[in-house]
Structure 1
Amino acid sequence: MPYNIPGHLKGLNNTEVAASRKKYGYNRIDAAHKSTALELLVDILKEPMLILLFAISAIYVIIGDHAEALFMFIAIVAVSAISFYQDNRSKKALEALEKLNEPLSVVIRNGHVVEIPTNEIVVGDLCLTEEGKMINADGHIIHSNDFSVNEASLTGESLSVFKSSENEDNKVYNGTVTVSGLAVFEVEKIGKETRLGKIGTSLSGIKEEASPLQLQIRKFVKTMAVIGVIVFLLVCVVNYYHTRDLLKSLLNGLTLAMSVLPEEIPVAFTTFMALGAWKLMREGIIIKRSSVVETLGSTTVICTDKTGTITENTMHLKHLYDYRSDKTFDEEHFKEAALSNLIGYAMWSSEPVPFDPMEKTLHQVYEQTQKNDLRGAYTLFHEYPLDGNPPMMTHLFENAAKDRIVAAKGAPEAILQVSLLSEEEKNKVRALVKKFGERGYRILGVAGSHFEGDDFPGRQQDFRFDFLGLVVFYDPPKKGIQKVFQHIYDAGIKVKVITGDNTDTTKSIAAQAGISNADNVIEGKEIIEHSGALLLQEVKEKVLFTRMFPDAKLMVVNALKQNGEVVAMLGDGVNDAPALKAAHIGVAMGNKGTEIAKAAASLVIVNDDLEKLITGIAAGRRIYANIKKAVQYIISIHIPIILTVSLPLFLGWVYPQIFTPVHVIFLELIMGPTCSIVYENEPMEKNTMLQPPRKMTDTFLNRKELGRSIVQGLVITLGVLFAYQLMAQKGGSEEQTRAMVFTTLIFANILLSLTNRSFYYSLLESFKNRNILFVAVTALTLILLFALLYIPSLSVFFKVTGLSLAELGQALIIAVASVLWFELYKLLRRKQRKGRA
């Protein structure tokens, strides 16, 4: 890492680091408590389903049914194991994400500049910070270069403060942001001992707000729990009225309560979100909060910057315009003597150790064209960071003889505004800038000045500048970017380009990149002048937003949100942080993004590839669709279980207790993995990314969808009860009838899980979406069913008998009829849609 650091700064050695860590610990606030495996297990045992199982086990022990009690104990272990596996899987996925999200810090150790995880900073370390970096410990400055810091996170003061080792205020604090320059500071406090750490412990009690989907699911589960309590009481009363046996009445009531409780839904939601975030991490998309996955699928507009996102960020220098000779030179003639002054000042106005691609190019061209390389002789002793509207920056260098160079570069408009040119001369340059811009070039103006003394102007715009010329770069659109934007448009998502570049350049590049309506342009200064309905209308209509600055970006994002859009905002700089924070999904770039941008964002794209955002949106849509499938499956299959347990009792049928707790828990053990493991692994349906995004305000199940699931459940109930009556009317015993009912319901369950893989495409079409877990769970379910029917010890325990081949065929036919009617419904839907197309 190339930093101009004084040689006497050696930092700690390995022994000193170990000693400091032993004394002061790691640089962690430790505000958030991490659940241990034991705590996870205790939380699982508090779940309503487990409490019901404990209650049923206790009743079995009291009435002397020890075999059932033992089975219930095994069921408790099995349910706990499944829940523990899911919770632990989710926890590990989130921990992996958290580790990836941890910022890195630059320190000097053993005389070398190295990058380390922030939590490994120790007291006594020499930390480096520069523009755009977050400061990650408290300390005092020992070396700095035009260093300023924003301490708004601690003081609320938005203006940056200049600090140095000579100042009375030479302290820096964890959580603040470097606005300009560079500083080396010695760490004095870490973790909970920092000023931010002391605030952090009080913030630890503040919990993240639940997402709309989480709130909807919680409400649904609570409603089902209330229904469960009512039905439990009803069954207890009716059963007690008929039998006068309190314990058996409680057992029947608890059986029904267990069948009503949809405890799989919250587990499924957590699993889907955590594993979704983990899978995206493997794709190079780092999610800060797993609930962002849900929001991704609802994205309606993407606000993207231009440089490095749409373009390659290569910044190839194509032309130089020298004002003195009034000539434009192409790259074959950069060694011309007339260009020496322009090239020199363009380089001096760049950072001494450049990280921006344009500045790197200017240093390379200087090196290739100048006979005498003066960079080693001059030192940067004062600088004005990029500011103004439009922006510019100025650097002051000095050599040992006190000779000075005052160099500035920036947007051509900014440089022309501060230059000594006449209006006529300025218009001549503006015409040239427009000509270059229309060809998609990125143009910077270059100027020089002279200043004696140390009483520098407060603003760089107050220097008297001589206009020297233009440097003209070409940053071509990325290969395949047109295809990326076509995917975005196909998904019903709008695109807005928000850039600091000028209008002509942006329009040209946008057209080359395949952005629709690239003529709809507005500049940042116009945005600031608008408000109310006019602003909302402008952000709705305009596609390109040029010469943008932080306040204007924030206004655009907020206006889009007011228009009901779900906004994904891409940004990489310090100035993008407010807009990133305000957007529904703030997206920072992993390579070119500053630490402050990454901290403000909710998602980081590791390789700066816009196509990865499409991958994330597709994942969000897939996960949301699969959660709905899982929930609809749970609702549909719970209805026949509830009604099969209750209706024979209420209607006074010959075998009122056709299902006991052991049968219900067997079904629960099948349904849990199906909804939370199998559906989570379900691939995205074809044409998902050709549909418009769903509205954020939509409930996770609308009335039509809920009604569809209820009808599915009721039809399965009719089939199961028909199987009950078919066997009972033939004079079948209770065990035979139970076996018939149970087998029909298991077959129906398998078919339901298959047909509900899509609510539009046919079951056969869905088989093209490979999901090995469906095959595994279906096979295991059938093996368990046949074991239960045909292994005598299990048959006796479950109070069933084996069915003949004809009876198995009847059960299958009834299950097919009660489930696969839905395939006809889907066929009608497809025909209707084709008819409308």
Structure 2
Amino acid sequence: MNYNIPEDLKGLTEAEVTASRKKYGYNRLEVVKKETWIGMLISILKEPMLILLICVSLIYVVIGDYGEAVFMFVAIVGVTAISFYQDNRSKKALEELEKLNEPLSKVIRNSKVVKIPTFEIVVGDLCITEEGSLINADGKIVHSNDFSVNQSSLTGESFSVFKDSKSEDNKVYSGTITVSGLAVFVVESIGKETKVGKIGQSILGIKEEASPLQLQIRSFVKGMAIIGLVIFMAVCVFSYIKTEDFVTSLLSGLTLAMSVLPEEIPVAFTTFMALGAWKLMREGIIIKRSSIVETLGSVTVICTDKTGTITENSMQLKHLYDYQSDTIYEQEEFKIKELDELIDYAMWSCEPVPFDPMEITLHKVYEQTQDSDKRKDYQLFHEYPLEGKPPMMTHLFENEQKDRIIAAKGAPEAILNVSDLSEEEKSKVREVIKEFGEQGYRVLGVAKSHFEGNNFPVKQQDFTFKFLGLTVFYDPPKKGIKNVFQHIYDAGIKVKVITGDNADTTKAIAMQAGIINESPAINGSEIASSSEDDLMNLSENTTLFTRMFPEAKLEVVNALKAQGNVVAMLGDGVNDGPALKAAHIGVAMGNKGTEIAKSAAALVITNDDLEKLVVGIAAGRRIYANIKKAVQYIISIHIPIILTVSLPLFLGWIFPHIFTPVHVIFLELVMGPTCSIVYENEPIEKNAMKKPPRALTETFLNWRELTVSIIQGLVITGGILWMYQYSVDLGNDEAKTRALVFSTLIFANILLSLVNRSFYYSIFESFKNRNFLLMGISALVLVLLFIILYVNPVSRFFSITPLTVKELGITLLVAAISVLWFEGYKLVKRYTGKK
């Protein structure tokens, strides 16, 4: 883009940048401390499961059972390695997200305009800020063009202030917002030395709030830990009373405590969220916080801006309506002399250096149609920014001979309201406007004025304007947008269009885009004047919100939230900022979105493709469903382990210690990767985007789901304990019984991981969703089971004896019956149509 920046502004050289950075550091509010691998290792070793393992290892060392102690040490290394691998994957994924979330800033270096990460700005840099940008350092203006800034973040004053290099206050400050125009400023302070840095150090210690799902999972794990502690004490006391052997009793208690503790769940949650965000990043969806992934799957309402979100934001000038001749002209007729004045004043009403797509188009049309370009001869010396309801803007230019041009443009209603036309003449123009609007065109009114002296009116509406005509733009809906909205509707999500455009244009574009609308449009002024009850009703039942200003957009979003909706707000402009911030998920466009929109949003779509939001929602639903599958798997498989360890002891069966810590730890090593690596990789089920969104307040496991998992666990327990008694009835010794029980549990674990891939579709249907990790880990577990059973030193260590083919077949049959009955339950669900 051509910024019309003076040639003498060359910026720093690379050597000067290096010197400045060495002296003043990076443009950050705090020094970012990266977690070292030692720190990660220490935090892993603080986990309850590792503490239990260390305790068991020490007991084995004390009693001289060094073989068991070595195995426990290997188990500690194994569990630590798995946790370290998961934590490291999560950390790397989050680091990648942080890099992408780092905003870019424009600076002049070596006489070239370049984009750099904001933290790389140095003292002495020449920074460029333009309309819609967040200012990222403190400095002094050296060049500007129609520049105004909103300093409310520092001063609390909401109005914008015009500044230039000659102003009494020619400083700009980090954290403030460029409202209009452009400025080049030399950086004087960065990071903690900026005004906002000195004020804002106190907020750095504020931690991000835990999400509802995080709180529910923490509560569940805490409850299970308390149950584990109670059972540990009970088993220790009970075993000691029976055996009077303190060490054996302590080991029995620790074994049970390890079987109860569901330490896999928090690891799984962190992994699912971090890797989910990382995978979305590869799809072109940048998520600011990984916990947003969870919320994505719960979205019930999408509020979307029209321009640049539903439409291409290409703004082609399709027609010009000249009021004087009462004629509508096509593109190929723009060069005729009758349109000179209309094109002339339409261009002068724009910014001298245009940013808005419509203004860029008007400048191009001016270049292509006018015989002489007078833009260098005239200087902007007074401006009324875009304001009013509906909005308009006015620019005043002057040349060296003091000839003036006063040009205005804006919403047609706003321009008609300030024009000198009679009511009859206005009605005639409104008919033309309505006709264009119904075809989906974006219409702007253009007017001119004359004013002597410098005592300008306070408000632009106080000028006397002559109405010149209309500029008619067409901003077509994006390709494939109909399919996108169909997917959104299929997922049970409502769509609301919230735009600054008029009702006719919005209605036409909505129809072309496939948006379902069965109620009349509501405009911003109606929203502003509505009572709280009326606002609730309007926000629920209205689809098209037109002529919306920032406060009205915010009110609609808050009203939808108050009704219990989970709201995603899509926008790309400065005026979308408050609503983006207020929504559960603010979604900004990465290409054409302003920096304000991007900084306010929780999610940025890098290529402005709305279909990516559908991808994000699908990912949110997939991850949430997979977390539930992982948790239900953990509950179902923990129950047989807990009961197989405790019931023989409490019921006084012949082999009270059928499982020792060695067996429980092996099972834990199998379960950990299954729930946190395998289920994370599970594809989305084919019906997931055909269901209505879940309520955000819904617990991650309701009583029905919890009951199903408990029943699954109890049936598996029944099968395993039947195998125990069957072996005892056959007269088998403890080693053979242990081998049968252990093998049954391993087979049941593998089958459960396959069955629980879906709680609706059959196991055969699930196989169509390829998950190579699941197959790989299942195969590895089987190989390890056969090594334990048939490699003599390992068998002796696990205190088991090899099984015959027949015995192995019986264990597989019992495991299959214990697990595969659930396929019948799923068949009934499918037959009755229950989800």
Superposition TM-score tier, normalisation by shorter sequence = over 0.9
1:447 corresponds to 2:443: no
- Equivalents in 2 of 1:804, 1:195: separation in Å? 78
- Equivalents in 2 of 1:513, 1:723: separation in Å? 62
Partner of 1:602: 602
Is contact 1:106–1:113 with CA below 8 Å preserved after alignment? yes
Q: Structure 2 matches for 1:251-290, cutoff 5 A?
A: 251-290=251-290
Q: Structure 2 matches for 1:90-105, cutoff 5 A?
A: 90-105=90-105
Query: What letter is aligned with 1:92?
Result: K
Q: Give deviations 1:699-755, integer Å, cap 9, x for gaps.
A: 000000000000000000011111111112111111111111110000000000000
Q: Structure 2 matches for 1:301-700, cutoff 5 A?
A: 301-517=301-517, 519-700=519-700
1:110 corresponds to 2:73: no
Worse overlay, 263-272 or 30-39: 30-39
Query: What letter is aligned with 1:638?
Result: H
Is contact 1:296–1:585 with CA below 8 Å preserved after alignment? yes
Q: Give deviations 1:437-483, integer Å, cap 9, x for gaps.
A: 11111100001122334433332222221111001111222222111
Is contact 2:146–2:380 with CA below 8 Å preserved after alignment? no
1:235 corresponds to 2:235: yes
- Equivalents in 1 of 2:615, 2:383: separation in Å? 42
Q: Give deviations 1:624-658, integer Å, cap 9, x for gaps.
A: 00000000000000000001110110011111111
Is contact 1:378–1:399 with CA below 8 Å preserved after alignment? yes
Partner of 1:77: 77
Worse overlay, 239-248 or 24-33: 24-33
Worse overlay, 761-770 or 134-143: 134-143
Offset, 1:4: 1.7
Q: Secondary structure of 1:93's partner?
A: helix
Q: Give deviations 1:507-542, integer Å, cap 9, x for gaps.
A: 111111111125431111111111221110111111
Query: What letter is aligned with 2:326?
Result: D
- Equivalents in 2 of 1:667, 1:281: separation in Å? 34
Is contact 1:31–1:201 with CA below 8 Å preserved after alignment? no
Partner of 2:171: 171
- Equivalents in 1 of 2:381, 2:783: separation in Å? 79
Partner of 1:191: 191
Query: What letter is aligned with 1:268?
Result: A
Is contact 2:309–2:571 with CA below 8 Å preserved after alignment? no
Is contact 2:143–2:185 with CA below 8 Å preserved after alignment? yes
Is contact 1:536–1:560 with CA below 8 Å preserved after alignment? yes
Offset, 1:354: 2.2
- Equivalents in 1 of 2:600, 2:469: separation in Å? 37
- Equivalents in 2 of 1:432, 1:11: separation in Å? 51
- Equivalents in 2 of 1:732, 1:169: separation in Å? 93
Query: What letter is aligned with 1:43?
Result: S
Worse overlay, 756-765 or 34-43: 34-43
Partner of 1:226: 226
Q: Structure 2 matches for 1:105-184, cutoff 5 A?
A: 105-184=105-184
- Equivalents in 2 of 1:541, 1:314: separation in Å? 31
- Equivalents in 1 of 2:343, 2:169: separation in Å? 39
Which TM-score applies when normalising by structure 2? 0.98
Offset, 1:691: 0.6
Q: Secondary structure of 2:325's partner?
A: coil
Q: Secondary structure of 2:84's partner?
A: helix
Worse overlay, 821-830 or 427-436: 427-436
Q: Secondary structure of 2:317's partner?
A: strand
- Equivalents in 1 of 2:717, 2:25: separation in Å? 62
- Equivalents in 2 of 1:82, 1:168: separation in Å? 62
CA change 1:280–1:175 in 2 (3 A) is same
Offset, 1:688: 0.9
Query: What letter is aligned with 2:103?
Result: P
Partner of 1:826: 826
- Equivalents in 2 of 1:600, 1:408: separation in Å? 31
Number of aligned residue pairs: give it. Answer: 835
Q: Give deviations 1:94-142, integer Å, cap 9, x for gaps.
A: 1101100110111111122211111110011111111110111111222
Query: What letter is aligned with 1:83?
Result: S
Offset, 1:364: 1.9
- Equivalents in 1 of 2:382, 2:678: separation in Å? 62
Runs of 4+ in 1 over 4 A off after TM superposition: none
Q: Give deviations 1:484-514, integer Å, cap 9, x for gaps.
A: 1111111100010111111111111111111
Q: Give deviations 1:373-399, integer Å, cap 9, x for gaps.
A: 222322333322221111112222222
Partner of 1:761: 761
- Equivalents in 2 of 1:37, 1:211: separation in Å? 27
Query: What letter is aligned with 2:539?
Result: V
Offset, 1:168: 2.9
Q: Secondary structure of 1:183's partner?
A: strand
Is contact 1:239–1:249 with CA below 8 Å preserved after alignment? yes
Partner of 1:19: 19
- Equivalents in 2 of 1:286, 1:456: separation in Å? 47
Please list every run of 5 or more consecutive structure 2 residues that lacks an aligned counterpart in the other structure. none
Please list every run of 5 or more consecutive structure 1 residues that lacks an aligned counterpart in the other structure. none
Offset, 1:349: 1.3
Offset, 1:270: 0.5
Is contact 1:520–1:541 with CA below 8 Å preserved after alignment? no
Q: Give deviations 1:320-368, integer Å, cap 9, x for gaps.
A: 1111122111122111110001011111112223232212221222122
Query: What letter is aligned with 1:321?
Result: Y
Is contact 1:236–1:249 with CA below 8 Å preserved after alignment? yes
Q: Secondary structure of 2:306's partner?
A: coil
Q: Secondary structure of 2:205's partner?
A: coil
CA root-mean-square deviation? 1.3
Offset, 1:404: 2.0
Query: What letter is aligned with 2:261?
Result: L
Query: What letter is aligned with 1:579?
Result: A
Q: Secondary structure of 1:408's partner?
A: strand
Is contact 1:507–1:518 with CA below 8 Å preserved after alignment? no
Partner of 1:711: 711
Which TM-score applies when normalising by structure 1? 0.98
Is contact 1:31–1:200 with CA below 8 Å preserved after alignment? no
- Equivalents in 2 of 1:360, 1:146: separation in Å? 16
Q: Give deviations 1:636-693, integer Å, cap 9, x for gaps.
A: 0000000111011001111111111111110011100000000000000011111100
- Equivalents in 2 of 1:709, 1:193: separation in Å? 56
- Equivalents in 2 of 1:711, 1:574: separation in Å? 54
Q: Give deviations 1:224-276, integer Å, cap 9, x for gaps.
A: 00000000000000111111111221111011101100000000000000111
Partner of 2:726: 726
Is contact 2:381–2:398 with CA below 8 Å preserved after alignment? yes
Q: Structure 2 matches for 1:58-73, cutoff 5 A?
A: 58-73=58-73
Q: Give deviations 1:594-628, integer Å, cap 9, x for gaps.
A: 11111110001111111111110000000000000
Q: Secondary structure of 2:754's partner?
A: helix
